[in-house]
Amino acid sequence: MQWPDGLEKMVTFGVSLEVRGTVKGAWCYTGQMEEHSATYRGIPMTWEEWTQPIMDYLDDRRATLEMSRTMSQGERAHFKGNTYDNAMMMLSYQGGKYMTLPGEEYRTLKEWVYQYFRTGAAPLPYSGEIPDGNYEFTIDFEKDVEIVAAPYLKEEMRQYNAENNAAHNKDMGRRQTEKRFEQLEGDAWTTQEIYAQGFSRKTLDKFVEHGLIERVKRGHYVRKSV
């Protein structure tokens, strides 16, 4: 959002403490930065309007992939990975507008992106208006900020991290596995077919562990849908 320096961002979002927050609901908004303040304004938006540019982009990329006869397997995997990266970015940002997404909605829409790119026919999981289109708030960096002594901050943060790092690391591991999973082509495989696409036994086991694929019998796997 073109912050002039890190202070305003830390004040607004609390990232100086590295506290991992959770979003309570989807919200579409713009941000207006001033010298001493930041104002966030909700934008009336529907799921259909927000996702239409994403579908247009995925349709174009799918058509390019289908028409190509010269891409190697590695080039196709790179093309797909780049497509998913851009589509996921569009879920959060488009043309000066931002979208916050809670974890469940993010994971659901991520699966929708994959299915729509693959088939061109996946139904949109959400519809209608996105809430709080008229909500807005302003952070005044001078009036709304108080610097206080925090003699026990390190101890408190150490305790916080001890309680939350395990869950955080597990979530990070899942996201990394999902990122790798985006490169897997097809919907059913033998073990050797998965190996042939460049995946190790450890990665295959993680796909199973995180519920991305299912072992139907010894040496045979199928893709699981959310």
**What residue numbers bound the domain in which 36 lies?**
6-140
Same domain, 126 and 206: no
In a domain, 180, yes or no: yes
Asked whether the predicted pLDDT for residue 137 surpasses 60, the reply is: yes
Q: Where are the alpha helices (DSSP H) in 30-102?
A: 47-67, 73-92
Same domain, 121 and 214: no
Same domain, 129 and 182: no
Same domain, 41 and 96: yes
User: Average per-residue pLDDT in the chain?
Assistant: 83
In a domain, 160, yes or no: no
Same domain, 134 and 179: no
Domain termination residue (choose one: 94, 119, 140): 140
Same domain, 32 and 123: yes
Same domain, 123 and 189: no
Same domain, 93 and 199: no
**Residue pLDDT, tens place only, 169-198:** 787 888 888 888 888 888 899 999 999 888
In a domain, 33, yes or no: yes
Domain termination residue (choose one: 140, 160, 187): 140
Same domain, 123 and 208: no
Same domain, 25 and 130: yes
Question: pTM of this prediction?
Answer: 0.64
In a domain, 45, yes or no: yes
Distance CA 16, CA 150 (A): 13
Q: Domain count of the chain?
A: 2
Domain termination residue (choose one: 125, 140, 155): 140
**Residue pLDDT, tens place only, 24-75:** 788 999 988 888 888 999 999 999 999 999 999 999 999 998 888 788 878 8
Same domain, 136 and 194: no
Bigger pLDDT: 127 vs 180: 127
- Count CB atoms within 10 A of the CB of residue 112: 21
In a domain, 166, yes or no: no
In a domain, 98, yes or no: yes
In a domain, 179, yes or no: yes
Same domain, 12 and 88: yes
Whether 39 and 143 have beta carbons less than 8 Å apart is answered as no
Neighbour-count burial for 186-210, b at 16+ CB within 10 Å, e otherwise: eeebeeebbeeeebeeeebebbeeb
In a domain, 94, yes or no: yes
